[in-house]
Amino acid sequence: MAVVDDSVVVRGLFARWLTEMPEVDLVGVHRNSIEALRQMPSCRPDVVLLDIEMPEMDGLTALPLLLQAVPEARVLVVSALTIRGADLTLKCLMRGASDYLSKPTTMAKVSTTPAFKQDLQARVRALGNRVERRSVAYPGPLPPPVRAPRDATPQLLVIGASTGGPAAITALLAQIPEVLPGLPVVVGQHMPATFTTLFADHLRRHARLDACEISGGEVLRRGVIHVVRGDGSVLIERAGAHFVARRGPGTTMALHPSIDLIFASAADAAGPAALGVILTGAGNDGAAGAARIVAAGGAVFAQSPESCTLSAMPSAVCDAGLASVVGDIAALGRSINRHCRPIARD
């Protein structure tokens, strides 16, 4: 484990919190990116805690160089929860960072907010556990796959992801350009609202996809990627020939939006014409919703656990025997293209 931060106070604080974790071996504490890059080849940390906004070389510039020096490392970026901080964080996630952590607004809150310390330790632990398992195959055998229905052309695609999701979602959508014009896509990505706004903008500007953020009250349009706002959840309903998004009920979940609610309501609205895809992430959000899609006659695809940043979410779906397809992003793209072939031809 290594820490890269220009603040001596933050470096000391993070180092103390990390050394409290018996499973963590702190091999480097660096005051800037240049120093870290010089020492990475010798210390070779599994997980790097990287501040984004630093003098000389910021985290965004340093990130690809760090991953080039230590390709097996998982990088947890830290930034302020501001528009600028969120924009830089999203760019880091698209450049290979595994996860992010939002700093409290003041240094005093950084040191006195128990939830921030607990969140940092939990994310480091999750990434460290993933590193330990990265060369291990899925602890199968995999349950027998559910046979994907063939008698219902998909009319609605719902995608759920958490840690590692922005890059995975962007890569998946790039695999299915012929499918996208034929149906609406709803994306549930665990993120604060500031980030989901920027993620929709990223898909629109950089991936050149028609994308927007939704929070309820919108008509879901074919050919549009609808990113659910991160401070709540939505339910999908059918309104005549269209699907619409309605504001969902509040939940006790720590992360939003609720993928379970998105998937379950998609099953109720589209029945066998619902297609759900579960990608990388921690926890089991989406498993109950995936079961609802399968019960309604729809299909669920899951990212292969070994190709995930964190594998718990797709593993929960695989363990329950709900996935008719399990594969990496390229394989999922090919399967979606085959499953939606009647749409692609229209």
Active site amino acids: 162, 190, 285
Q: How many CB atoms lie within 10 A of CB 286?
A: 34
91-97 long-range Cβ contacts below 8 angstroms, 24+ apart: 91/60, 92/50, 92/52, 92/59, 92/60, 92/63, 93/166, 93/167, 94/166, 94/167, 94/170, 94/202, 94/206, 95/60, 95/63, 95/64, 96/63, 96/64, 96/67, 96/167, 97/50, 97/63
Tokens coding 246: 């309605």
- Cα–Cα distance measured from residue 74 to residue 309, given in angstroms and rounded to the nearest whole number: 9
- Cα–Cα distance measured from residue 44 to residue 62, given in angstroms and rounded to the nearest whole number: 15
Whether the CB-CB separation of 320 and 287 falls below 8 Å is answered with yes
305 contacts: CB under 8 Å, gap ≥ 6: 138, 311, 314, 315, 318
Whether the CB-CB separation of 261 and 288 falls below 8 Å is answered with no
Beta bridge partners of 236: 245
Nearest to 149 by CA among 330, 29, 325: 325
Concatenating the DSSP letter of every residue in 149-200 gives PSSS---EEEEEE-TTHHHHHHHHHHT-TTTGGGS-EEEEE---HHHHHHHH
According to DSSP, residue 147 is labeled: P
